[in-house]
Amino acid sequence: MGYLAAITWNPDPVAFELFGPLAFTWYGLTWSLSMLVGYYLATWMFTREKIDAVDPSNVVTTIFLSCLVGARLGQVIFYDLDYFVEYPSEIFKVWNGGLASHGAVIAAILSVYYLSKKYAKINFLWLVDRMAIIVLAAGSFIRFGNFMNSELYGTPTGSDYGVIFTMHDSIPRHPVQLYESVWLMVCFLSFMVLYTRLKAWKDGFFACLFLSVVFTGRLLLEFMKESPDLALGLSRTQWLSVPMILIGLGGLIYLNRKEIHAQD
């Protein structure tokens, strides 16, 4: 059966090769781009707010590596524990994909806490707010890498429209990776507008906004993925998103009440 309106998608995961065995994958390049953009944004933010006692490159490197390790451990523990117990060497092959955003968020929070203790000039909530903005851009690039890897694709569209991931089958599907990439970029641009326009905000505002808004989008987009139900019609990823959303909403309510009391 032909699907005239569908896009056939089967790119080579390897973007280019140098000197024979040295290959650069699209997934690896999107992670590298994320790190470069993170360096730029962190340097710009630190300069803008006159934080000159801390090297932003050290901050970004620590958080980036923590997110990479946390995302991989999240994938291992939350999703594919049996597989990785049987094939432990596969844990280190992150270039093949398989990184859980929930694990990355937990690792990012822990690394920010460590950095806030290491550097007296920055406190935990101040840093986690800025990193929440930067992570949005990084996440958008990485989701595009998932698209180039033809992984994390969505459910069949049930029509002639969609993307045919020929690596898997010949059915038009929702390109959920692109949906989430665009969603995260929209969130990043919106957060940047707020960051540059708001004259003042309570520390923790952007972190709570990130948890509540971003993971609500993640929860909704998961309905377009072929994920097995864990309970009450929700997948494992959706249930992992629920506490993130509740923490974010609770934090926003707390900050709002704190602001009201401060004005009384």
Instruction: Give me the DSSP letters along 172-237.
Output: EE--HHHHHHHHHHHHHHHHHHHHHH-S---TTHHHHHIIIIIHHHHHHHGGGB---EEETTEEHH
Q: What is the pLDDT of residues 143-164, one digit of tens each?
A: 999 899 898 889 999 888 899 9
Average pLDDT of the segment spanning 208-233: 89
Q: What is the pLDDT of residues 94-105, one digit of tens each?
A: 666 667 777 888
Rounded CA separation 52/18 (Å): 39
Residues 6+ apart with CB under 8 A from 77: 103
Q: What is the pLDDT of residues 167-203, one digit of tens each?
A: 888 999 999 999 999 999 999 999 999 999 998 888 9
Q: What is the pLDDT of residues 223-247, one digit of tens each?
A: 998 877 777 888 888 998 999 999 9
The two beta strands, 163-165 and 14-18, are unpaired
Q: What percent of the chain has pLDDT over 70?
A: 92
Q: Domain residues of the chain, as ranges?
A: 22-197
Rounded CA separation 58/209 (Å): 25
